[in-house]
Amino acid sequence: MTRLFNDPAAFADEMIEGFAAAAARWVQAAPGGVVRSTTSGTDTVALVVGGGSGHYPAFGGLVGPGLAHGAAMGNLFASPSAQQVHSIATACDTGRGVLLSYGNYAGDVLHFTQAQDRLRAEGHDVRTVLVTDDIWSAPPDRIEERRGIAGDLCVFKVAGAAAEAGYDLDGVERVARHANDRTRSFGVAFSGCTLPGADAPLFDVPQGRMAVGLGIHGEPGIDEVAVPTADELARLFVEKLLEEVPAGVEAPGARVVPLLNGLGSVKYEELFVVYRTVARLLADRGVTVVDPEVGELCTSFDMAGCSLTLLWLDDELEELWSAPADSSGFRKGSVGAQQRAAAVVLEHTEQEIGAASEASRRAAATIADAFDAIVAVVDDAADELGRLDQVAGDGDHGIGMTRGAHAGRDAARAALEGGAGAKTALDRGAVAWSDRAGGTSGAIWATILQAVGAQLGDEARVGREEVARGVRSASDAVMAFGKAAVGDKTMIDAIVPFADTLAERVGAGEELASAWDAAAGAAHDAAQATADLRATLGRAKSHGERSIGTPDPGAVSFALIVRGVHDRVLAASSSPSAQGE
């Protein structure tokens, strides 16, 4: 378990600060993560990687010559925000374009895509290559749905070497995709990991059993078998991976890079015992091993587990894999001379607050009170939300909601003090929430707040009809953004009935407080009913059957929030003088 921490919600920030200080030879802190602290003096394509913290040496530990130029580093097991990715990519782009590469997880895809769209609108040439190496997370006919695990390193190494060799952006993207197509991984675990401040691991494996097909975010395995011997585990790894040799490759006579990866608390000596048999079994199948790696390459905090990755080579991939690289977490050969890079300046641009009507400023004050209510509700429920999330996910929902809600409240209060109207207060809160929380929920809550704000504006009077339209707009925006529908076991299962009920009650002439009360009740009932559903989207989809019997944490947190806003704000403001606003 994790023993050394201060405030669990601040753990990732403090870890990044300490990492940047300890690894100053390779990295320097930048808004959103880290970038290289050295340069060769030659402009190249910039490789920007990233993901949640808790996976060292991924992702910050893979920044350095021959590897990544920067890493966007999110909260523990939560994707970095779009703002973090944008900041790191902007700092790294020298004019030859940016390749974004990361594991295929819902939150990462949402935030990196938002960042890519913004960067392109600003004139940057940006491409994306998702890593999809985990064979257990989806069948071969749905290979694009697979998640990225330790195979991240193969794609990052090949792309980084190509950039260092002077490839243009088309070329770096091409070889990164080729490396991903040629990479397969398979992992197991003997116990789950424990997040800072938690009193239990994210999942348990019964004594004498082994979880098969786990992810790197504390997700439980997809299957369970008896604990094997080291030789039996090596055989399981090799047999499963050789069942799916990439297209165009024949195992006999092929050349392959094996990566035997420890996930946190399986130690090097144990891995070496396993690898001795991996090497023999590959040789028995006529496969030539090239430059293998054994050790901690992509961890899951303190998880007891390991994975095997095979990168199937051709001449170009072998040259790029073998090229020199130097980072705090991965080194190969000897890189050329480097010089200190210019320090990244942490610029803070104070945004002006536009004009707002008196009526809209009064609405902004109510919005700020609503944020206070949200913070109180989320703080009270954080542990339970984390517990719900760990059943089929990664257990970070409570921490992410806490970070996001506090940041949103502070930003909305600051906007209110600056004279903001309703739209600006919600927009400022949305950006801060997304940036601080990261993850899928951070992106979705930013979408909700911004959609409501767009309907309310900064000039018009805010009444019940405008609020109902804003909530309907938010519901539609979240469905369009996340591609979820009612029944997928997501936050949408609570948002839609909330929006429907609010619109129906307001349309019938009810005052906002009573209509919101009824809508909050509908959201609560719908959230609880998700316990009967099977998860079909997001990280939980790999554990769909396991999710049955537990309500969706995103739906539960939404229902708790709208109930808290009613009980602590709207009900108290439903005096005759406040009717209709």
Please list the active-site residues: 217
Q: Look at the block and give the residue holding tokens 């997001």.
A: 538
172's CB contacts (< 8 A; 6+ apart) are 45, 47, 99, 127, 159, 162, 163
| Residue 48: φ, ψ to 5° | -115, 120
CA diameter of the chain: 83
- How far is the C-alpha of 230 from the C-alpha of 11, rounded, in Å? 35
Burial class (CB in 10 A: 0-12, 13-18, 19+), 385: buried
Q: Contact at 8 Å (CB) between 168 and 303?
A: no
Would you list the DSSP string of 205-246?
--TTEEEES--SSSPPPSEEEEPPPHHHHHHHHHHHHHTTPP
The runs of H, that is alpha helices, within 483-511 are 492-507
Nearest CA to 116 out of 157, 155, 80 is that of 80
Q: Contact at 8 Å (CB) between 279 and 293?
A: no
Tally of CA atoms within 13 A in the half-sphere of 164 that contains its CB: 27
Q: Contact at 8 Å (CB) between 313 and 320?
A: no
Length of the chain as a residue count: 581
Name the packing angle between helices 422-437 and 397-417 (round to 10°): 150
- How far is the C-alpha of 255 from the C-alpha of 258, rounded, in Å? 10
Q: Contact at 8 Å (CB) between 107 and 440?
A: yes
| Residue 122: φ, ψ to 5° | -90, 0
> Residue 95, by phi and psi: left (phi above 0), alpha (psi -120 to 50) or beta?
left
DSSP-derived pairing of the beta strands 304-312 and 183-191: antiparallel
270's CB contacts (< 8 A; 6+ apart) are 230, 262, 306
